[in-house]
């Protein structure tokens, strides 16, 4: 059953937003927990481009290519809100933009003698942030536990 049937208008609006983003040097970027059409100009993503937007069963994925080589994916629930972001590549994307109000949880994650420079796992309230890898190959994801659409597997969020 198509899940976006009642959101044709929203889809059309997004289509325009994506088209504009593709045509302009600056890209519209959504934020975790916010509507996908929350168009916010993002200086850090200024030279990024949307590679693809794909409807999957139960959600939609926008794939954004950064000049550094990093690929970022934003996962959108049927209600139109971003429920997860994931990244893979030599740099992290602008997470201040992508995480929005949840950015502080990552920036202030505590360090201890068990810290190394290779792992992060944060669970704070609704937010889960997980990252691993090494120089030249960083990967990670952040999602809102309560916002994951039913039927979506955590394993798909990468």
Partner 1 sequence: MVSMRALKMGLCVLLCLSAIACGGSDGTSGGGTPPPPPTSTVNTASVIIDGGPSASSGSVNTMFTTVTVCVPGSTTSCQTIDHIQVDTGSYGLRLLSQVLTLTLPVETLANGDSLAECTMFVDGFSWGPVVTADLQIAGETAHSLPVQAIGDSRFTNIPAACSGAGGTEEDTVSTFGANGILGIGPFELDCGDCDTVTNNGFYFDCTTSCTGTMVPANLQVPNPVTHFAVDNNGAIVVLPSVAAAGASNVMGSLIFGIDTQSDNASGTQTVLTVDDLAELLVTFNGQTFANSFIDSGSNGIFFADSSITTCAAPANDPTSQIVNFYCPASTLTLPVTIQGMNGTMTNNLTFAVGNAINMLENTDFDAYPQLAGTLPPGNAGSFDYGLPFFYGKRVAIAVQGAMTTAGTGPYIAF
Where does this chain bind partner 1 (CB under 8 A)? 43-44, 46-47, 66-70, 86, 90-97, 99, 103, 106-121, 129-141, 154-155, 157-158
Nearer of residues 3 and 149 to partner 1, judged by Cβ:
149
Identity of the residue, 18 or 129, whose beta carbon is nearer to partner 1 in the bound complex: 129
Give 14 or 94: the residue with its C-beta nearer to partner 1.
Answer: 94
Tell me the helix, strand and coil percentages in the chain, rounded to 5. 25, 35, 40
Burial of 26 (0-12, 13-18, 19+ CB in 10 A): middle
Could you give the CA distance from residue 93 to residue 88 in angstroms, rounded to a whole number? 9
Taking the complex as a whole, how short is the minimal distance between the CB of residue 36 and partner 1, in angstroms? 20
Smaller CB separation from partner 1, 15 or 132? 132
DSSP states along 110-143:
---TT--SS-EEEEETTEEEEEEEETTEEEEEEE
Cβ at position 22, least distance to partner 1 in Å: 18
d(C-alpha 43, C-alpha 41), whole Å: 6
Select 74 or 94, whichever has its Cβ closest to partner 1. Answer: 94
Least Å distance between CB 29 and partner 1?
A: 12
Q: In the complex, what is the shortest distance from the CB of residue 28 to partner 1, in angstroms, rounded to a whole number?
A: 17
- Of the candidates 55, 53, 74, 77, the one whose C-alpha atom is nearest the C-alpha of residue 152 is 77
Whole-number minimum distance, CB 70 to partner 1, in Å? 7
């Amino acid at each position: 059953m198509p899940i976006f049937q009642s959101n044709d208008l929203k889809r059309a609006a997004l289509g325009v937003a994506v088209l504009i983003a593709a045509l302009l040097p600056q890209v519209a970027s959504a934020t975790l927990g916010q509507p996908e059409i929350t168009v916010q100009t993002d200086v850090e993503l200024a030279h990024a481009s949307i590679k693809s937007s794909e409807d999957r069963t139960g959600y939609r994925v926008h794939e954004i290519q950064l000049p550094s080589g990093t690929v970022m994916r934003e996962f959108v629930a049927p209600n139109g809100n971003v429920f997860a972001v994931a990244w893979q590549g030599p740099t992290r994307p602008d997470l201040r933009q992508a995480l929005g109000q949840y950015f502080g949880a990552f920036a202030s994650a505590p360090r201890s003698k068990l810290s190394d420079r290779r792992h992060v796992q944060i669970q704070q309230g609704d937010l889960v942030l997980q990252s691993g890898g090494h120089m030249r190959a960083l990967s990670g994801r952040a999602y809102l536990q309560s916002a994951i659409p039913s039927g979506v597997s955590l394993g798909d969020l990468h």
